[in-house]
Amino acid sequence: MAILPIIVAPDPQLKTISTPVAEITDEIRELVADMFETMYEAPGIGLAAIQVGVQKRLLVLDVVGKGQEGEDPEPIAIINPDITWVSDDDSMYEEGCLSVPSHYADVVRPTEIKLSYLDLDGEKQELHADGLLSTCIQHEIDHLDGILFVDHISALKRNMILRKLLKQKKMAS
Ligand code: K1U
Ligand code: ZN
């Protein structure tokens, strides 16, 4: 297993639309294992493949363990997700992102969702999610469509955050 470098915004790769996984191979299983290790080490509660430079519709999450000691991990790997239903009511959550480090903002999303996806055995699964799980899944699926949580906030706040990140990148290079 390996800890993979996480791409930080602004970066054109984070704006790309990822393509469906055609076949669940050993290479995909190895990528998933590396993504879990990267997510827990960060620490984070989710990670999309594009954040580690792989343009595939694949994400991992664990909102139970939250990367903290004393909590039993509940890792979920989600391949080719398809949101089939969203609730009429919305919820607000202060989101963060490993690709937008040290910045947080309130984002409004549907409270509950239903989705179908493939698990690592290629079996179709259905999931009804609410609370943080629902928020995190929607955030990660946004990544697969080239959308960051800052795209849900005002242009003024977004540009301020992205400008700061760009300045940090320039200073580090
Ligand atoms: O970069 C990512 O997509 C992961 C992101 C997921 C997320 C967080 C909050 C709302 C929606 C989606 C993170 O994991 S940011 C870090 C974080 O939230 C966290 C880290 C350690 C413990 C608890 C939370
Ligand atoms: Zn993110």
Question: Does the pLDDT value for residue 17 go beyond 70?
Answer: yes
The ligand 1 site (C-beta within 6 Å) comprises: 43-47, 51, 66-67, 93, 95-99, 135-136, 139-140
What are the structure tokens assigned to 82, written together? 């398809």
Nearest CA to 3 out of 45, 33, 24 is that of 33
pTM of this structure: 0.96
Q: What is the pLDDT of residue 66?
A: 56
Nearest-atom number in ligand 1 for the CA of 46 is: 4
Protein residue with its CA nearest to atom 20 in ligand 1: 44
Taking only the tens place, the pLDDT of each residue in 121-172 is 999 999 999 999 999 999 999 999 999 999 999 999 999 999 999 999 999 9
Please identify every residue whose CB atom is under 5 Å from ligand 2, which is an ion. 97
Domains and CATH numbers, the chain: 12-172 (3.90.45.10)
Ordered strands of the 76-86 beta sheet: 46-48, 58-61, 76-86, 113-118, 124-129
Residue 166 Cα to ligand 1 middle (Å)? 21
What are the structure tokens assigned to 156, written together? 């003024």
